[in-house]
């Protein structure tokens, strides 16, 4: 997703001003609910996730959200670092989804990896007027970054298009689609990872009309110690 993707992500990040100055440190306190066999839980990761993944919510604010959810059995809406509203959308032992701002979401998924557990985060930025795009990261159980390339293989642009009966070639797609924005999503348990191609909304109406009939909107893959699209 980087090289061209790095510039694309930077532009999206600057556009929505998701970087906040004056970051605070992650607290030592973490919530106590346990996952299967006493393992790591998504809500615990939410409390401790590094600030470069979620800098809009101070760790103390995250703990307030978790405490309210656990004791009031309710989804507390809080104010984020930009003055917007943040709330939990879904909470499960191995999965959590948060609406961070009106135009961004964070998903946390706990995944089995050999005999251990690792963490995947999906931070998606986008709205109707801008193509949604997801930054995918992986961490070990101590929340130290892992090499994403060893665990995750993103689909190529051509994978989203059925060119079999078309005059277009993969090189034609590259000429028309300069920034291939893709939104990823998942869910609890055995829910697959879904990749949704969102870049058509950024193209000219002529190119959209040409490519839309050929588009495969979404691709899915299951977790097998890695995510691999084709």
Give me the torsion for CA of 211, 168, 199, 121, rounded to 10°: 120
Q: Which residues contact 141 (CB under 8 A, 6 or more apart)?
A: 40, 116, 117, 118, 119
Q: What Å distances lie between residue 187 and 63, 85, 150, 184, 219, CA to CA?
A: 22, 22, 22, 11, 15
Q: DSSP secondary-structure letter at 154?
A: P
Please, which pLDDT band fits residue 185 given cuts at 50, 70 and 90?
A: very high
Report the alpha-carbon distance of residue 98 to residue 87 in Å, rounded.
6
pLDDT per position as a tens digit, 76-112: 555 555 555 778 889 999 999 998 888 889 999 999 9
Under the banding of pLDDT at 50, 70 and 90, the label for residue 124 is very high
- The parent domain of residue 116 ranges over 4-228
How does strand 130-139 pair with strand 95-101?
unpaired
Phi then psi for residue 170, to 5 deg, are -60, -35
CB-CB neighbours of 201 under 10 Å:
13
Asked whether the beta carbons of 189 and 223 are under 8 A apart, the reply is no
When divided into structural domains, the chain yields a total of 1
> Which pair of structure tokens corresponds to residue 121?
């985060």
- What is the pTM assigned to this prediction? 0.80
Can you give the pLDDT at residue 100? Answer: 87
User: Quick one: CA torsion of 101, 184, 16, 92, rounded to 10 degrees?
Assistant: 20
Spatial CB neighbours of 130, under 8 Å, sequence gap ≥ 6: 12, 15, 103, 201, 202
């Amino acid at each position: 997703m980087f090289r061209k993707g790095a510039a694309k992500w930077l532009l999206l990040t600057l556009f929505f001003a998701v970087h906040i100055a004056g970051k605070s440190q992650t607290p030592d306190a973490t919530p106590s609910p346990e996952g299967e066999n006493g393992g790591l839980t998504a809500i615990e990761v939410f409390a401790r996730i590094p600030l470069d993944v979620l800098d809009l919510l101070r760790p103390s604010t995250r703990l307030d959200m978790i405490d309210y959810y656990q004791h009031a059995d309710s989804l507390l809406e809080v104010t984020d670092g930009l003055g917007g509203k943040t709330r939990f959308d879904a909470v499960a032992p191995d999965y959590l989804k948060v609406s961070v701002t009106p135009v961004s979401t964070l998903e946390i998924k706990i995944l089995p990896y050999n005999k251990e557990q690792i963490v995947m985060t999906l931070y998606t930025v986008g709205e109707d007027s801008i193509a949604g795009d997801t930054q995918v990261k992986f961490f070990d159980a101590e929340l130290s970054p892992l090499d994403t390339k060893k665990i995750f293989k993103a689909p190529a642009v051509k994978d989203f298009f059925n060119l079999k009966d078309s005059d277009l070639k993969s090189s034609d797609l590259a000429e028309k689609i300069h920034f291939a924005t893709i939104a990823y999503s998942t869910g609890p348990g055995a829910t697959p990872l879904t990749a949704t191609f969102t870049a058509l909304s950024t193209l000219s109406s002529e190119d959209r009309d040409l490519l839309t009939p050929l588009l495969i909107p979404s691709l899915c893959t299951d977790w097998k110690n890695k995510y691999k699209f084709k």
